């Protein structure tokens, strides 16, 4: 049988008190934990429904809507994808991953908002520089969406950006669209070298201006920079499916993903969590890992983003200030029309039915009748601890 839903919440219920007893928990992390613990429970209130056939009363509780909660992402992802489909062009697309070396992990932990922002800025600088360079035969501006991930399959720190890049550039001055090769965008090694140089340059600039928290001796900073310069940075570009809709669906796997989804948690017992993971160094084989519940919670919270930090960003002619005008001009240049989109007035129930074929209004007891709304349920007050 498949594991029951809300397994991440189950882990937090089992170990949150112990975690708080052994760790100083910042307000931001405590808020995310509370959201995960109360998602779709009486604590958040909801609505009471009654079956029109068997008369059973069914409470449906509200979701927390936290972007770190694995049970709240499906509909948000679908809404986001449907909005992005209006921006798809009939051109090749490329998936490019930029990864920061693990030697930077401690520095990022101490400067999280600033350095994760620098990651986005450096990637945009590199891609736009390559697009403008005549040797790559584009000589214009590219448009792309970048999505931040901070984890490995084992929930350790691994900072990288997934980018969906349209295969071509727009030269607004000349009003010309130049298409890239269908299977090739930019050189992998050249991208990695430029990415390394740019990010190190930004680190040194921040350090000189006193914008970085780094409490070690100056020799330690010099050693870190030397290590970064000598290490091989990883940039992995590849062509996506030829169908641009499939390319967007591919990126959709990453946009609203959290550190771990419920279905990967296999067991919670005896103070341990067992979860599935894929070992990319071993032919992507599926394996299992069992760790103490308190350690699991710590790893999960490691990937909570700063409040207000945007993990999905658009650049170039896809940036919000540019895209309406630029997309119309690019489509005119390509002789293409805008793709059809789903009306925004679709309700969540209608969207779930269209996407999955499941009618969530069917009574879970008799499987025959439908649920009718009868009352609002206020949030339940917590009892004495």
Query: What is the overall mean pLDDT for the chain?
Result: 90
Q: What per-residue confidence (pLDDT) applies to 344?
A: 62
Tens-digit pLDDT profile for residues 86-128? 888 989 899 999 999 999 999 999 999 999 999 999 999 999 9
Q: What per-residue confidence (pLDDT) applies to 382?
A: 59
Q: Is 15 among the domain residues? A: yes
Check whether residue 55 and residue 151 sit in a common domain. Answer: no
pLDDT surpasses 70 at 258 = yes
| Arithmetic mean of pLDDT, 368-382 | 90
Check whether residue 28 and residue 109 sit in a common domain. Answer: no
Check whether residue 60 and residue 136 sit in a common domain. Answer: no
Check whether residue 174 and residue 321 sit in a common domain. Answer: yes
Owning domain of residue 135: 73-259+304-334
Q: How many CB atoms lie within 10 A of CB 232?
A: 9
Check whether residue 177 and residue 111 sit in a common domain. Answer: yes
pTM comes to 0.91
Check whether residue 98 and residue 239 sit in a common domain. Answer: yes
| Arithmetic mean of pLDDT, 321-326 | 92
Q: How many CB atoms lie within 10 A of CB 116?
A: 21
Q: What per-residue confidence (pLDDT) applies to 3?
A: 37
Check whether residue 329 and residue 361 sit in a common domain. Answer: no
Q: Evaluate whether 278 touches 287 at the Cβ level (below 8 Å).
A: yes
Tens-digit pLDDT profile for residues 235-251? 999 998 767 677 777 77
Task: Give the C-alpha separation, 229 to 110, whole Å.
Answer: 21
Check whether residue 309 and residue 357 sit in a common domain. Answer: no
pLDDT surpasses 60 at 308 = yes
Q: Is 142 among the domain residues? A: yes
SS (H, E, C) 190-245: HHHHHHHHHHHHHHHHHHHCCCCCCCCCHHHHHHHHHHHHHCCCEEEEEECCCCHH
Q: Is 354 among the domain residues? A: yes
Burial class (CB in 10 A: 0-12, 13-18, 19+), 323: middle
Check whether residue 90 and residue 171 sit in a common domain. Answer: yes
Q: For the chain, what percent of residues have pLDDT higher than 70? A: 95
Check whether residue 108 and residue 214 sit in a common domain. Answer: yes
């Amino acid at each position: 049988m498949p594991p029951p839903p809300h397994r991440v919440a189950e882990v937090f219920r089992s170990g949150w008190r112990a975690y708080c007893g052994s760790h100083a928990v910042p307000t931001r992390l405590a808020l995310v934990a509370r959201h995960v613990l109360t998602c779709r429970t009486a604590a958040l209130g909801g609505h009471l429904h009654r079956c029109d056939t068997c008369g059973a009363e069914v409470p449906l509780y509200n979701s927390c809507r936290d972007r770190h909660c694995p049970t709240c992402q499906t509909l948000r992802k679908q809404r986001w994808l449907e909005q992005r489909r209006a921006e798809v062009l009939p051109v090749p697309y490329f998936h490019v991953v930029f990864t920061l070396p693990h030697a930077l992990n401690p520095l990022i932990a101490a400067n999280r908002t600033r350095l994760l922002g620098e990651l986005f800025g450096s990637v945009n600088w590199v891609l736009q520089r390559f697009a403008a360079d005549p040797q790559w035969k584009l000589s214009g501006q590219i448009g792309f969406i970048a999505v931040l991930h901070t984890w490995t399959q084992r929930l350790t720190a691994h900072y990288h950006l997934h980018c969906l890049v349209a295969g071509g550039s727009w030269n607004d001055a000349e009003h010309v669209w130049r298409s890239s090769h269908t299977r090739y965008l930019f050189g992998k090694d050249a991208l990695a070298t430029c990415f390394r140089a740019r990010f190190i340059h930004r680190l040194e600039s921040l350090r000189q201006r006193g914008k970085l928290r780094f409490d070690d001796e100056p020799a330690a900073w010099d050693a870190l920079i030397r290590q970064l310069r000598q290490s091989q940075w990883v940039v992995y570009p590849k062509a996506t499916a030829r169908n641009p809709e499939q390319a967007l669906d591919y990126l959709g796997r990453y946009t609203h993903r959290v550190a771990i989804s419920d279905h990967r948690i296999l067991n919670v017992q005896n103070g341990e969590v067992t979860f599935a993971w894929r070992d990319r160094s071993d032919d992507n084989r599926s394996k299992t890992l069992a760790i103490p519940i308190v350690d699991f919670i710590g790893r999960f919270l490691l990937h909570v983003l700063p409040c207000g930090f945007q993990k999905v960003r658009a650049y170039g002619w896809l940036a919000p200030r540019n895209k309406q005008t630029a997309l119309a001009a690019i489509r005119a240049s390509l002789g293409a029309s805008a793709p059809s989109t789903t009306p925004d007035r679709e309700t969540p129930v209608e969207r779930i039915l269209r996407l999955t074929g499941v009618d969530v209004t069917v009574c879970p007891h008799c499987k025959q009748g439908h649920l009718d709304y009868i009352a609002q349920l206020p949030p339940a007050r917590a009892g004495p601890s």
